[in-house]
Structure 1
Amino acid sequence: MSADVWLPVHAEEIDGLPDRFDYRFWDGGPEFPADPARCVFYGVPYMKGPEVSVRPLREMTAVRVIQTLTAGIDHVQPALPGLPPGVRLCNARGVHEASTAELALTLTLASLRGIPDFIRGQDAEEWRQGFRPALADKSVLIVGYGSIGSAIEDRLTPFECARVARIARSARTTPRGPVHPLTELPALLPDADVVILSTPLTDATRGLVDGGFLSRMKDGALLVNVSRGAVVDTKALLTQVETGRLRAALDVTDPEPLPAGHPLWHAPGMLITPHVGGLTSAFLPRAKRLLREQLVRFAADEPLVNVVATTT
């Protein structure tokens, strides 16, 4: 009996898939496409939330690979302890860098240059001139210098920033300069005009941006979040932006989706997009390439890419 592969993309849309598997399409609907116990490779539905993502896992007794189409794996990681040993969890490194980095730059420029206010002025047929901050000559701090953080710096390079500093879990050296460990964050925050969050959500980063973090940011600084909403303490952020001391541009929020009536919607200096960092035309071609590569490797019993955890 051949084994099943569950994919959130129709198999006929992906060229070059190995023919040794039976491919089942499942995008998070209420009915499973087949018996989960026959699934050996689970492609997690994209942007369906943690409840949907883990729902079939308790019945996937034969699963060997879980492949997310997100850079973060926090929505499926809690289910790992209930799985058989040796299951590999892989993320979507290489899929979202371009789109998320584009949005990080878009949010930064739009907030600095006052684009939301210009749009409101256009709606009101008002000519709202005035000086706005430029990205040129600003100091930028990237918190979370993985592949997305590096892609963000790629796009900052032509904008004549005075300085780009980098923070990651541990220190290392790159061709562009040093990456500082998280322990040095308090010393680097006061010099940053723009702080861009691109860190994964982990126990170490949940609530990282709290009152202490925000109080160390300089007056008038901009916080940009393209990581996960729970990296930021929403109440602490509201305290800072409501006084006008800081501004923020958020693609992710806590809670998410942000409910109607939440004070973040109308906080001064706030720009919000609805978690669309990866939702562009660049997503699907890269997602298909990753799924094909992983399945070719899996069928040939070759090492997979992007393995971030293995069950024990």
Structure 2
Amino acid sequence: MTSDIWLPYPADEIEGLPEGLDYRYWDGQDDFPADPADCAFYVVPYLKGPKISVRPLAGMTSVRVVQTLSAGTDHVAPALGGLPGGVRLCNAKGVHEASTAELALTLVLASLRGIPGFVRGQEREEWRSGFYPALADKSVLIVGHGSIGAAIEDRLAPFECARVARVARSARTTERGPVHALADLPELLPEADVVILSTPLTPETKGLAGADFLARMKDGALLVNVARGAVVDTKALLAEVESGRITAALDVTDPEPLPAGHPLWHAPGVLISPHVGGSTSAFLPRAKRLLARQLTRFAAGEELDNVVLTTEGGTRPAGAGE
């Protein structure tokens, strides 16, 4: 059995790594640090894009674990079909919740309270006083109630929202109340002042916020996307925001990065941040703790955390979770 571990950080910068494994540093450089065929545990470089992320996978014939440092795995999962059976794909649950939830709340507050307009006013030395919407007394709908969606709800608690409704792939009950299924969206959308998307990108959620979804949102509602750009139909969103009927705050877009000249840049009522939900000072210490914990479990032959699918071998991956 091979013991090569590919890490996107030098091993001496990660406290708590188990001994007895061969650590190789690779963060997307042109040259591989060793033969990919000898890699047993591959940690995907963070924020390097799908092309770099999957480049060594075809040669990783002995790999047993692929660990992302992102909450989503859609940039890696399609490339796992040619790997041997039993390869576990793990995500970074526990790493991004604080930062992404923090940004989601920032986007909500900035959009409602008119912060982009204040910034433009400051640049022009204009005093833009008046009344602006508050988050207090608003009804919020969170679409995607995994760990990030739950963290967003935690941060909404002090803001005196009139209601927080939750939607996930399947219905369940939490300490704060029911979680509705996706099938309930048609009834829930017209009641929400703020709709926050925090769902994984799956075949089921791709284009979820399309023309029908957006049309069901109430006049004046705010759409916030901290999920993946492709969860929203960009053409349909443009039609709604250009009419002035709804507004949007987007940390992710489709396409991404958003190219110069794209109409979303200057669409009325749209606030854009450049996919920075997870890339904050909170990321690195949490990512390193996750790697130390996962590799300790791996070295001891224990079950790993955050397994989202296991390959069948030579076929498409099976067992994807929410």
Which bin holds the TM-score, normalised by the shorter protein?
over 0.9
| TM-score, L = length of structure 2 | 0.96
Match of 2:320 in 1: none
Unaligned ranges ≥5, structure 2: 313-322
Please say if residues 2 and 20 of structure 1, whose CA atoms lie closer than 8 Å, have aligned partners that are also in contact.
no
Match of 1:203 in 2: 203
Task: Name the count of aligned residue pairs.
Answer: 312
Match of 2:315 in 1: none
Distance 1:2 1:203 in 2: 35
Distance 2:209 2:176 in 1: 26
- CA displacement 1:205-238 (0-9 Å, x = unmatched): 0000000000000000000000000000000000
CA RMSD of aligned residues (A): 0.8
Match of 1:174 in 2: 174
Task: Report the residue type matching 1:307 in the other structure.
Answer: V
**2:224 pairs with 1:227:** no
Distance 1:204 1:5 in 2: 33
Distance 2:130 2:26 in 1: 51
Match of 2:119 in 1: 119
Please say if residues 247 and 270 of structure 1, whose CA atoms lie closer than 8 Å, have aligned partners that are also in contact.
yes
Distance 1:128 1:16 in 2: 53
- CA displacement 1:160-218 (0-9 Å, x = unmatched): 00000000000000000000000001100000000000000000000000000000000
Equivalence map 1:66-145=2 (5 Å): 66-145=66-145
Match of 2:296 in 1: 296
- Deviation at 1:2? 5.7
Please say if residues 189 and 216 of structure 2, whose CA atoms lie closer than 8 Å, have aligned partners that are also in contact.
yes
Secondary structure in structure 2 of the residue aligned to 1:82: coil
Task: Report the residue type matching 2:12 in the other structure.
Answer: E
Please say if residues 114 and 132 of structure 1, whose CA atoms lie closer than 8 Å, have aligned partners that are also in contact.
yes
- Deviation at 1:10? 1.4
- Deviation at 1:291? 0.3
Match of 2:19 in 1: 19
Distance 2:20 2:310 in 1: 24
- Deviation at 1:47? 1.1
Match of 2:6 in 1: 6
- CA displacement 1:87-128 (0-9 Å, x = unmatched): 000000000000000000000000000000000001111111
Distance 1:152 1:19 in 2: 37
TM superposition outliers: structure 1 runs of 4+ over 6 Å: none
Distance 1:238 1:291 in 2: 40
Please say if residues 209 and 233 of structure 1, whose CA atoms lie closer than 8 Å, have aligned partners that are also in contact.
yes
Please say if residues 109 and 135 of structure 2, whose CA atoms lie closer than 8 Å, have aligned partners that are also in contact.
yes
Task: Report the residue type matching 1:115 in the other structure.
Answer: I
Match of 2:49 in 1: 49
Identity within the alignment, %: 77
Distance 2:233 2:49 in 1: 20
Match of 1:264 in 2: 264
